[in-house]
Amino acid sequence: MAKYKLPKPGELSSSINYNPPAKDWMDIPVEFKPATYPAAAKEKDLLTVGFPNAHQWTPEDEDWNLPDGWEDTVIKGIEERLSKYRSFKLFMDVCVRCGACADKCHFYIGTGDPKNMPVVRAELLRSVYKRYFTKAGKVLGRLAGARDLDADVLKEWWYYFFQCTECRRCSVFCPYGIDTAELTIMGRELLNLLGLNINWIAGPVAACYSKGNHLGIEPHALKSNIELMIDDIEDITGIRVNPTFNRKGAEILFVTPSGDYMGEPGIYTCMGYLMLFHELGLDYTWSTYASEGGNFGFFTSNDMAKRLNSKIYAEAKRLGVKWILGGECGHMWRVLNQYMDTWNGPADFLEVPVSPITGTRFENAKSTKMVHITEFTADLIKHNKLKLDPSRNDHLRVTFHDSCNPARGMGLFDEPRYVIKSVCNNFFEMPENTIREKTFCCGSGSGLNATENMEERMRGGFPRANAVKYVHDKHGVNMLANICAVDRAAFPALMDYWVPGVGVTGTHELVANALVMKGEKERTTNLRGEDLPGKEGNE
Amino acid sequence: MDSKLKDLLEKKRSELVSKWIDAIISTYPKDPSGMLKNKKDRFENPIGHTITNVTQNLFQALLDEKSFTDCKQLLDDIIRVRAVQDFAPSKAVSFIFMLKNVVREELGKEIRQNQIYEEIFKFESQLDDLALFAFDIYSGCREQLNQLKTDELKRMTFTLLKKANLMSEIPAQEFEHKELKFNL
């Protein structure tokens, strides 16, 4: 037996290398660690909507059961999209790697992983584009930054394209206006061609296609959910609100994300809408068919997004309304504001929205015919149409998170702030480079707000939480207001982890708590059943 | 702490802290942009800011021989970040042991000249204990991550369960007559 010499302690410790390998990004394969990625799409959900290559697989499997000839499918997919979308072709060619976007992504800032730099995320796809679609890449290969498409590349795409929330913060800083979110969108479309989507997206898409909303709530359940809220509103205010459903001839159709129908704290925002509309005597209707404003189809393919979106105009037409009012949601508004008109318009059967209360004509919505609820409410407040008692929110010290899509997708910065400041006496802004068009994402957008990828969400949301922590420490902020259903679903966990003691609220929950309704009884609690300031101990 | 070692640590504070920061940053993926070290804005580089802030203050706390409880918030700040990043548990808290290497390398000559081995052993033992304390914080963070998943599911489904009469809350007013005693 060979004599084995034990190493000395010094030799042992010097053999431990804390440093990660210093390799080129192309040579570092993806490692799937639990809780850092979402679960794979289920075959049944893809089949429901007719997506190609539905099959069973899991990300941690060595073999993803890819269909025969998958490489051709992807290359042809790229070719088709290059010819269809000029922006895609431009974004592939125009980047000069100036690095302006590099440190702007919340996932990069929260992980320090260079593959989360928007420029590198784009390069994951660009390297394949170069190899198959540019002369330099075909001839020079890796020297020109090109590489072959293989299963490892595909896994890398999947890991990093589902580690981008399409929030578009990086695009604000790109001197060429490259929208890396669009590259993620292309990447996800290509993966979708192979049946490689995620469960948290594919499930809601299938539910929305068959039931009208992401949560799969059927008409009777939607109605009874809202009736539960009506009971709670009556307990708190003494007033029974009386919304209508699928009512033909109503003036306005109201569409909101289904996250508002169940789950806390989304339902309180929904109660806020109900109370506001009742107080105004608004001639409006809910729809159990167009029961979803959000559009997870947008995270699968352009065609699916268009299909799921079409029900909004179709329902407006069927009911014969004049215009559409939309609730608090994030990506819903990017889709409505930037895509709906082109996909399913022109909505020439609708009228340019005019507030029946103030007479304000919403010129900004004259094409889509759909108004954001904070624009609508801000206009009401500006015209003194609401009786408000902001002191009911005096126990709150509020900050506002600009939800990425309304902020960067439609420039909605001031209306929500105006509304919040009108209904709350204590409002504090987060630092300038973390709000408005530079807002940091919640880390859970674009279908990433699953539960199994909690660590991924905590990393991605760290920059946002870090700014909330600052105002929490400095001003005692204890409430994070927003205008997005995903924010309302995802922020409670993010706050509990990074900034305990900060709650999460939709803007219209704050409005409804401050709203003094005609004939209401003396309120002692807010919509959550918590004592109002100065009313503690009342029953 | 022996005044000689303390003097040395204080004299070389900026070099020691700077090398400690470098060592911690080197546990992150190789990044040519150097963001974690170079970007000073605390909101645009929260990891870098946390590392810098924690190392500087923790170093001072060690010099002042503060109790571990006093260091808890500082340790929590950095461990909370590393607990959700791509680190094995051992690696997540390894940053404390890194200070040992930094001190040995930077002060090796002075330690030999001044014959303060015993003080160095004490200092290193203090770091060992701190690392154990840090591991408790790390475990707490990991347990909390699991709790967050449970809480999130409850928030998502509680209304449904109530609606389906599968779950009910006892209303507060049932306790209004709590002065009534049960005669058992």
A281 touches chain B (CB under 8 A): no
Residues of B in contact with A463 (CB under 8 A): 43-44, 46
The string of pLDDT tens digits covering residues A7-32 is 665 565 555 555 666 688 898 889 89
**Contact partners, residue A38, CB within 8 Å, separation at least 6:** A162, A198, A199, A200, A447, A448, A450, A452, A453, A456
Task: List the domains of chain B with CATH numbers.
Answer: 3-162 (1.10.490)
Selecting from B46, B98, B144 the residue whose C-beta is nearest the C-beta of A463 gives B46
Q: What are the distances in angstroms from CA A206 to CA A209, A261, B23?
A: 5, 18, 48
Predicted confidence (pLDDT) at residue A520 exceeds the cutoff of 50: yes
Predicted confidence (pLDDT) at residue A322 exceeds the cutoff of 50: yes
Model pLDDT, residue A10: 58
Note the ipTM here.
0.90
Model pLDDT, residue A199: 97
The string of pLDDT tens digits covering residues A431-489 is 999 999 999 999 999 999 999 999 999 999 999 999 999 999 999 999 999 999 999 99
Q: How far apart are CA A74 and CA A407, in angstroms?
A: 33
CB pair distance less than 8 Å for B30 and A497? no
Q: How far apart are CA A370 and CA A337, in angstroms?
A: 8
Q: How far apart are CA A256 and CA A267, in angstroms?
A: 12
Tokens of B41: 């804005």
Model pLDDT, residue B55: 98
Q: How far apart are CA B137 and CA B83, in angstroms?
A: 9
**Contact partners, residue A435, CB within 8 Å, separation at least 6:** A400, A401, A402, A429, A467
pLDDT-above-90 percentage for chain A: 91
CB pair distance less than 8 Å for B144 and A496? yes
Q: What would the mean pLDDT of A393-404 be, rounded to a whole number?
A: 98
- Tokens 């499918």 sit at which residue? A73
The string of pLDDT tens digits covering residues A215-253 is 999 999 999 999 999 999 999 999 999 999 999 999 999
CB pair distance less than 8 Å for B44 and A103? yes
Predicted confidence (pLDDT) at residue A423 exceeds the cutoff of 90: yes
Contact A354, A376 (CB under 8 A): no
CA angle A388, A390, A396 (to 5 degrees): 150
Q: Which of B30, B86, B89 is nearest to A31 (CA)?
A: B86
CB pair distance less than 8 Å for A114 and B94? no
Q: How far apart are CA A194 and CA A70, in angstroms?
A: 7
CB pair distance less than 8 Å for B27 and A458? no
Q: How far apart are CA A457 and CA A111, in angstroms?
A: 11
Residues of chain A with CATH 1.10.1060: 25-197
Strand arrangement of the beta sheet that strand A503-506 belongs to: A398-400, A479-482, A503-506
Q: What would the mean pLDDT of A388-408 be, rounded to a whole number?
A: 97
Tokens of A312: 């909004």
CA angle A520, A523, A526 (to 5 degrees): 120
CA angle A526, A528, A533 (to 5 degrees): 35
Sorting pLDDT into bands at 50, 70 and 90, what band is A539? Answer: very low
Beta bridge partners of A479: A398, A503
Q: Write down the number of H helices and E strands in chain B.
A: 8, 0
The string of pLDDT tens digits covering residues B21-66 is 999 999 998 888 889 999 999 999 999 999 999 999 999 999 999 9
Residue type, A462: F
CB pair distance less than 8 Å for B44 and A466? no
Model pLDDT, residue B30: 85
Model pLDDT, residue A536: 75
- Considering the four listed CATH numbers 1.10.3470, 3.30.460, 1.10.1060, 1.20.5, the one that applies to the domain covering A25-197 is 1.10.1060
Residues of B in contact with A117 (CB under 8 A): 33
Selecting from B29, B45, B101 the residue whose C-beta is nearest the C-beta of A109 gives B45
pLDDT-above-70 percentage for chain A: 95
